[in-house]
Amino acid sequence: MPELPEVEVVRRGLAEWVTGREIASAEVLHPRAIRRHLPGAHEFAARLRGRLVKSAERRGKYLWLPLSGPEEALLAHLGMSGQLLVVDPAAPPEKHLRVRLRFADGGPDLRFVDQRTFGHVMLTRLAGGVPEPIAHIAPDPFEGSFDEVRFATALRAKKTEIKRALLDQSLISGVGNIYADEALWLARLHWARPTQTLTRPKIAELVAAVREVMGAALQQGGTSFDSLYVNVNGESGYFDRSLEVYGRRELPCSRCGTPIRREPFMNRSSYYCPKCQRRPR
């Protein structure tokens, strides 16, 4: 499940393998993959043809490729199963190939492959360097523009539980279900803790925990990254080795040995240590 660290690994791969190249054609193999590109597949392809990829950028879980010409970018969100692959143009189409870009230099394709089609790509205008559809998303905690004081103030004004707030991309972007659980464990906070009861020092501790778990994941994601295969999947690197609570129901907490608990949360799961992370009363 790609969250910020996995998307950053993809961004680095794209920066290396796609930057500076001219798009020769775009082929949409599944309309759902461009459902947020309202003008449709034909217009999508026509507007991409002949454009140069200038760079590869990211905010939270979104990434985008600014293009030559008008201030526009190819924007992508990987959803939960999306991959952006850099592959030999002669390679056979992947089973879940949704969008295929060919380049004028005859080099590797950029292919958007997505089994569950929660991800999407679109061509969109840039406003101040940020794609318009994600203008409402807050900076992620690795950006210089992330304002910790502003975040703490907004968090304390919310009437909700801390985990809901962590997943709210308008407060802080890039955190998904896995790293939310991991960061809450590290900061010793129960997922249901009301945001209004959090002190500013505790919020600072939580932000540090978010940076810690995602930074560690990024380092491990980077080590398993094959440069010619820009890949994202839930099995690589970090996922098997370093998770402390996520997916570890009944396994002992590494701090205190108490069995990790799983609870339903927003039609999915929250994992936590019932001793280290006391439930609010």
Mapped onto helix, strand or coil, the DSSP state of residue 268 is strand
Burial class (CB in 10 A: 0-12, 13-18, 19+), 240: exposed
Cβ pair 277, 185 in contact under 8 A? yes
CB of 159 to DNA, least distance (A): 3
Residue-wise over 168-204: b if at least 16 C-beta within 10 A, else e? bbebbbbbbbbbbbbbbbbbbbbbbbebeebeeebbe
Residue range at the interface with DNA (CB under 7 A); choices 84-92, 103-111, 145-153, 260-268 = 260-268
Distance in Å from the first CA to the final CA of the chain = 32
Q: What string marks each residue from 13 to 32 as x (binds DNA by CB under 7 A) or -?
A: -------------------x
Residue 164 or 188: the one with the smaller Cβ distance to DNA is 164
Q: Which of residues 80-99 bind DNA (CB under 7 A)?
A: 80-81, 95-96
3 catalytic residue (yes or no): yes
Q: Name the minimum Å distance from CB 247 to DNA.
A: 7
Which of 70, 106, 128, 136 binds DNA (CB under 7 A)? It is 136
* 55, 65 contact by CB (below 8 A): yes
34 C-beta neighbours (distance < 10 Å), count: 23
Region binding DNA by CB under 7 A among candidate stretches 38-46, 113-121, 143-151, 211-219: 113-121
Judge whether 2 counts as a catalytic residue: yes
Closest distance to DNA from the beta carbon of 91 (Å): 19
Give one DSSP letter per residue of 127-187, joined into a string.
ETTEEGGGTTSPPPTTSTT--HHHHHHHHHH--SBHHHHHH-TTTS-S--HHHHHHHHHHT
193 in Cβ contact with 162 (< 8 Å): yes
Least Cβ distance, residue 105 to DNA (angstroms) = 32
| Contacts to DNA from residues 203-232, by CB under 7 A | none
Question: Does the footprint of DNA cover residue 266 (CB under 7 A)?
Answer: yes
Q: How far is the CB of 171 from DNA (least distance, A)?
A: 9
Q: Which of 51, 61, 100, 163 is catalytic?
A: 61
- The residue ranges that bind DNA (CB under 7 A) are 1, 3, 32, 60-62, 77, 79-81, 95-96, 115-118, 133-134, 136, 157-161, 164, 167, 169, 176-178, 246, 266-269
